[in-house]
Amino acid sequence: MSRFYLLSVSLIFLLGSCNTGTQSNDTQTAGYIQVSVDETYQPVMEQAIKVFEARYPEAHIQVEYKPEADCFRDYLEDSTRVIFVSRKLTEEENAYAEQNKIVSRSLPLARDALAFVVAKDAKRNNFSKKQIKDILVGNSNAGDFQLVFDNKNSSTVRNIMDSVIPGQELSENLYAANGSEDVIDYVAKNPRAIGVVGVPWVADTRDTNTIDFLSKVQVAGILPDSGQEFLRPYQAYIGLNTYPFTRNLYFISKETWVGLGTGLVNFLSRDGQLIFKQSKLFPLQVNVLLKQTQIKNN
C-alpha cells in the first residue's frame, strides 16, 4: 500500500502595508529596487519575480543571488531594503538594527528543506540523520563519505549545523563548492560524495534545469531520529515537518513606506503562494488541506 498526500490551497492572507515614513520614488507596482536572495532559493525566486514583473511592466527588480551571510551583510550595511533568507534576524542583528534606526519586519513565506543528493551510481541512496551527523563531525564509523556544500557561508551549512551539531566543530572532510549547480556537477562525478542543496534546485520537475540535474544525481532518503521510514523531501513531508531537515523562507524588509519592496512581498504572500506550491515548497500564508489517500497496487 502506498501513501500519497494531495494538497489544495485557498488564498486567505493579505500582508498589511500600513507603514509610514519617507516616501521613495517607487510604488508597489512601479519603480526600481535591488534585493538580495539566498542562492539556495534561486530557482523559485527567479520564477516568482518573472511573474511579478510580467504583471507589472513598470516594476524593475534587480536581484543578486548570493550566500545567506552576504544577504544579511547587504541588509545591515544598507545595500538593499529587502532580503529573502532562511532565518530571521538574530538578537545581535536586531540590536544593531535598532542602534542604526532600522525598522525591520519579517514573515515566513514558505517552508522548504535541505535535499541530499548522490550520484546515479552511488552505492547508497539512503542515510539516517545519525549517519549525516557522523559524517559532519568525522566519526570513525562514518565511512569515507564526503559532504559537499554550495558555499562555506551558505545557509545550508548553517541550517545543518544548527539542526544536527549545534555548538560542535565540522569535520575537515567537507567540501565547499561554488554554488548549487557546482555541487550537483561534483556529486555526479564522485560516487562517495553527498551534496547538500536547497530543495528548490531538485524538486520542481516542470523546470528544465531540474530535469537536467536529476539526470545526473538522485535525491537521497533520510531516516529521522525517531522514524522507521526513509523520507525524501516531498512537499507533504515538508509541510508536515516529518522530513527532518525542513526550514522556512523568510522575507526581511526595512522599507518604511509602501514601495516596490512592499509590493513584491505582498505579491509573494498572495498569488506568489501558488508559485511556491507549484515549485514543491509548502506555502505558509494560505490554508493548505492535506488529504491522505491509499492506492492499492495490483
Helix axes 260-269, 42-55, angle to 10 degrees: 110
Query: Is the same domain home to 253 and 240?
Result: no
Query: Is the same domain home to 12 and 138?
Result: no
Query: Is the same domain home to 78 and 117?
Result: no
Listed residue (189, 128, 194, 196) closest to 156, CA to CA: 196
The SS3 assignment for 129 reads: helix
Which domain covers residue 83, as residue numbers?
A: 2-111+248-295
Query: Is the same domain home to 131 and 53?
Result: no
pTM beyond 0.85, yes or no: yes
Query: Is the same domain home to 94 and 139?
Result: no
Query: Is the same domain home to 145 and 43?
Result: no
- The grid coordinates of residue 51 equal 511573474
What is the domain count for the chain? 2
* Alpha helix positions (H), the chain: 42-55, 68-76, 91-99, 129-137, 155-164, 180-189, 208-214, 235-239, 260-269, 272-278
Dihedral, CA of residue 275, residue 277, residue 279 and residue 285, to nearest 10: 70
Query: Is the same domain home to 147 and 125?
Result: yes
Query: Is the same domain home to 221 and 263?
Result: no
Residue listed under C-alpha cell 498572495: 270
Query: Is the same domain home to 281 and 189?
Result: no
Domain boundary among 211, 231, 246: 246
Give the CATH number, domain containing residue 99.
Answer: 3.40.190.10
pLDDT in tens, the chain (298 residues): 344 444 544 443 344 433 333 446 899 999 999 999 999 999 999 999 999 999 999 999 999 999 999 999 999 998 999 999 999 999 999 999 999 999 999 999 999 999 999 999 998 999 999 999 999 888 867 778 889 999 989 999 999 999 898 888 888 778 899 999 999 999 999 999 999 999 999 999 999 999 999 999 999 999 998 878 999 999 999 999 999 999 999 999 999 999 999 999 999 999 999 999 999 999 999 877 666 655 454 4
Query: Is the same domain home to 118 and 82?
Result: no
Query: Is the same domain home to 217 and 118?
Result: yes
Query: Is the same domain home to 134 and 239?
Result: yes
